[in-house]
Amino acid sequence: MTAEVDPDGHATSPRGFLAGATYAGVKTYGEGKLDVGVLASGLPCTVAATYTKNVLHSASVDINRARLAAGPARAVVVNAGVANSSTGQRGIEDGLRMTALTGQKLGIAPEEVLVCSTGVIGHYLPMDKLERGIAAVEMSPSGGEPFSRAIMTTDTRAKRGSVRFGPYTLGGCCKGSGMIHPDMATMLAFLTTDAPVDQPFLQQALSEAVDRSFNLVSVDGDTSPSDTVLLFANGAAGGETISEGSPLADGFRGALGALCVYLAKEIARDGEGATKLVEFRVTGGATTAEARALVRLLSTSYLLKSAIHGADPNWGRIAAVIGRSGLTVHEPGVTIGICGVRVFERERPTEFDPARLSEAMKGDTIVIEADLGAGGGEATGWGCDLSAEYVSINADYHT
């Protein structure tokens, strides 16, 4: 995964994709104020997708699942401001109407259009505004940039990038000011490539990449009803179809992994109220799943996140999370490190200099290491600190 990500790339960097965005008046906050976007391929695509596991999910998740089970798609329409979740049958009808309007605009079947909505739960979509908005979107080969802004909610900046592998480009954008914020920062990602990729391999590669990137980011541990990652491959750059075992299969996996990790870290760094990116490196798990579980627990601890915000090398809070984790722990082998300094090993504190370590923790990227002493399971994930600003954002916003 050493492929280099171009931070100026976006979802229309790969050949054959067009996108555009406009302000329809759905979103009443946020930078730039774009709130409706359309992304489409001129050519048919293979598509892979991953969705939230939240059972009370939004209408769009049901629509996209059904569409992709029936056949391929080549476009997606997105709105920010209203999540169209917990809205019953009317929500489904509104989502379908968005795809029909977009299909009409692009001259393709509604069945080839997917839909995502992000914003407040439990509100109905303002369909009159969306109808005018979708009609007003101007599609262009540079539209990936405004598209990346139209999907933002509490995000403070667009998160996008592209990466090259062989003769191909992979690009995309995501939004989310937390792993998942149920009403204001649902995580969405839209990825595109001009490589020809067969669908089973595309889905497998996406699932793996998401598991090692977006699924290991947490801002607050809450999971939204709308989380969706879509990957469109249109083959516009020609060549042999890539499948499992193809010469370019590993290159594609590496590129996709690099882009997903880059975007996932961008989400953590832009977590609501965040001032620092935190990387959690867990080793010594009885299994990989146990190592991943500890990453999730560490990255959602109020106390640890608060300590990191205050540049406080309070490793006891890490020990407490390990102890309450329910995971396999071999006490004599447990070690804890902060910013490269070993602070606990062999069941007792080391002689480290707290003032010096606190100084190191004032940087904008903090590395937390924990070894469970129990086996060879490893995982790395990302999160952010917890600031008073987080509380303000989430307490002062009114439904």
CB of 306 to a copy of itself, least distance (A): 3
Considering only CA atoms, give the Rg of the chain. 21
Q: Is the Cβ–Cβ distance between 242 and 206 less than 8 Å?
A: no
Q: Does 270 participate in binding a copy of itself (rule CB under 8 A)?
A: no
Which residue's CB is nearer to a copy of itself, number 184 or number 230?
Answer: 184
The residue within the footprint of a copy of itself, chosen from 50, 153, 154, 224 (CB under 8 A), is 224
Which residue's CB is nearer to a copy of itself, number 171 or number 182?
Answer: 182
d(CA 321, CA 282): 13
Catalytic residue among 50, 102, 186, 193: 186
CB of 34 to a copy of itself, least distance (A): 23
CB of 307 to a copy of itself, least distance (A): 6
Q: Does 303 participate in binding a copy of itself (rule CB under 8 A)?
A: yes
Nearest alpha-carbon partner for 227 in 175, 191, 274, 289: 175
Burial 263-277 (b: 16+ CB within 10 A, else e): bbbbbbbbbbbbebb
d(CA 330, CA 129): 59
Q: What angle do CA 69, 176, 118 make, to 5 degrees?
A: 55
**CB within 8 Å of 69: residues ≥ 6 apart:** none
Q: Does 195 participate in binding a copy of itself (rule CB under 8 A)?
A: no
Question: Which positions from 81 to 110 touch a copy of itself by CB under 8 A, shown as an x/- string?
Answer: --x-xxxx-x--------------------
Interface residues for a copy of itself in 144-183 (CB under 8 A)? 181-183
Q: Does 329 participate in binding a copy of itself (rule CB under 8 A)?
A: yes
Residue type, position 154, single letter? T
d(CA 304, CA 298): 7
d(CA 210, CA 227): 12
Q: Does 317 participate in binding a copy of itself (rule CB under 8 A)?
A: yes
Q: Does 307 participate in binding a copy of itself (rule CB under 8 A)?
A: yes
CB of 322 to a copy of itself, least distance (A): 6
d(CA 337, CA 141): 47
The residue within the footprint of a copy of itself, chosen from 2, 69, 351, 395 (CB under 8 A), is 395
The residue within the footprint of a copy of itself, chosen from 12, 22, 54, 169 (CB under 8 A), is 54
Which residue's CB is nearer to a copy of itself, number 163 or number 219?
Answer: 219
Q: Is the Cβ–Cβ distance between 270 and 157 less than 8 Å?
A: yes
Q: Does 232 participate in binding a copy of itself (rule CB under 8 A)?
A: no
Strand partners, 338: 341, 368
CB of 229 to a copy of itself, least distance (A): 17
The residue within the footprint of a copy of itself, chosen from 248, 258, 322, 384 (CB under 8 A), is 322
Nearest alpha-carbon partner for 267 in 301, 217, 228: 217
The yes-or-no answer on residue 186 being catalytic is yes
Q: Does 66 participate in binding a copy of itself (rule CB under 8 A)?
A: no
d(CA 52, CA 63): 13
Residue 35 corresponds to which tokens in the numbers above?
């709130």
Residue 49, helix vs strand vs coil: strand
Interface residues for a copy of itself in 117-136 (CB under 8 A)? 120-123
Binding site for a copy of itself (CB under 8 A): 53-57, 83, 85-88, 90, 120-123, 181-183, 220-225, 301-303, 306-307, 309-310, 312-317, 319-324, 329, 331, 334, 344, 346-349, 354, 358, 386-399
Catalytic residues: 186
